Structure formats: structure tokens, C-alpha cells
């Protein structure tokens, strides 16, 4: 039962930490985008794209949490051992902290990209590229968590 407890904590950590990063990132970008839209509502599509980019970290955390719940007996599968529960917890920390910090950083980049695009719409693609560079680190954290989580049920620990 201790393994199940650890796996549930792992699912919560992946969701909550990555979700906080996305919420802070999207929130900051949305505030800036609303200021731009109050001056020029025709930029809604571009502002929406730049605002949504920091939201992917929360999605990555949710996917990892869902896979943990599937593999730990909550949504199917066998109950994990204590070692497997600890492994789920370790795996969740990659996307949890990776999503937390990259979501906040991507939000800051989005704020700058929104401001840059507001001054000259021709800068939109440059802003997209710069903001997407931060996404690479969220993807790396997600891939590490994903690879570990899908292999834990086979581990005899």
C-alpha cells in the first residue's frame, strides 16, 4: 500500500508543479496580451498563440500523472511496490520541476514576444521562435518522465 501512496503523490506532484508553471506563465502573458488587445483587437489570433505557449507544461504534467495512475492500480494495473512508488515519484519530479521553471520562463518570454509583436506585427514569427526555444526544456523533462514511467511496471524493485 505504501507504493500506491507514493505513486499518488507522484501523480499529484507532476500535475501540481507543472500546472503552477503553466498558470503563472499563461497568466502573465494573458495580462500583457489583454493590454495589447485593448488597443488593437485585430491582433487577437496572434496574441492567443503567444499566450497559450506556456500552457503546454501543465499538459505534459497531466499526461505523466495519467500514466502513473494507469500503471499504479488506480485506473488499472497492479499495485506498485514501495520501490516502484519511489520510482514513480522520482519520474514525476522531472516534469514537475521542469514544467514549473520552464512554464514561468516561457511566460516571461511570451510577455516580451507579445510586446515586441504589438510594436510591429512583422516580429511575430521571431517571437514564436524565441518562445519555443524554452519549450525544448519542458519537452526534455517530459520525455524523461515519460520514459521512466512507462518502464516502471516492468522493474522488479
- The mean per-residue pLDDT over the stretch 76-101 comes to 93
* Band (78; pLDDT cuts 50, 70, 90): confident
pLDDT digits (tens, 9 = 90+) for 31-58: 999 999 999 999 999 999 999 999 999 9
Q: List Cα–Cα distances, 48 to 51, 79, 94, 119, in angstroms.
A: 5, 42, 28, 16
Model pLDDT for residues 99-135, shown as the tens digit of each residue: 999 999 999 999 999 999 999 999 999 999 999 999 9
pLDDT at 24 over 80: yes
Q: Tell me the pLDDT band of 153, cut-offs 50, 70 and 90.
A: confident
Structural domains in the chain?
Answer: 2-154 (1.20.120.610)
Cα-Cα end-to-end distance for the chain: 14
pLDDT band at 28 (very low <50, low <70, confident <90, very high): very high
> Are the CB atoms for 60 and 99 separated by under 8 Å?
yes
Contacts with 132 (C-beta within 8 Å, 6 or more apart), sequence order:
53
pLDDT of residue 156: 83
Amino acid at each position: 500500500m505504501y507504493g500506491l501512496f507514493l505513486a499518488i503523490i507522484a501523480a499529484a506532484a507532476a500535475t501540481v508543479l507543472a500546472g503552477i508553471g503553466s498558470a503563472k506563465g499563461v497568466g502573465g502573458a494573458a495580462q500583457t496580451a489583454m493590454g495589447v488587445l485593448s488597443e488593437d483587437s485585430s491582433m487577437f489570433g496572434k496574441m492567443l498563440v503567444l499566450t497559450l505557449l506556456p500552457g503546454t507544461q501543465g499538459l505534459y504534467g497531466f499526461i505523466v500523472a495519467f500514466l502513473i495512475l494507469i500503471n499504479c492500480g488506480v485506473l488499472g494495473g497492479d499495485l506498485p511496490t514501495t520501490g516502484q512508488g519511489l520510482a514513480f515519484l522520482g519520474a514525476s519530479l522531472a516534469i514537475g520541476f521542469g514544467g514549473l521553471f520552464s512554464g514561468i520562463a516561457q511566460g516571461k518570454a511570451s510577455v516580451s514576444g507579445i510586446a515586441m509583436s504589438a510594436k510591429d506585427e512583422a516580429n511575430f514569427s521571431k517571437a514564436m521562435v524565441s518562445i519555443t526555444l524554452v519549450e525544448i526544456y519542458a519537452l526534455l523533462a517530459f520525455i524523461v518522465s515519460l520514459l521512466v514511467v512507462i518502464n516502471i511496471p516492468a522493474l522488479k524493485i
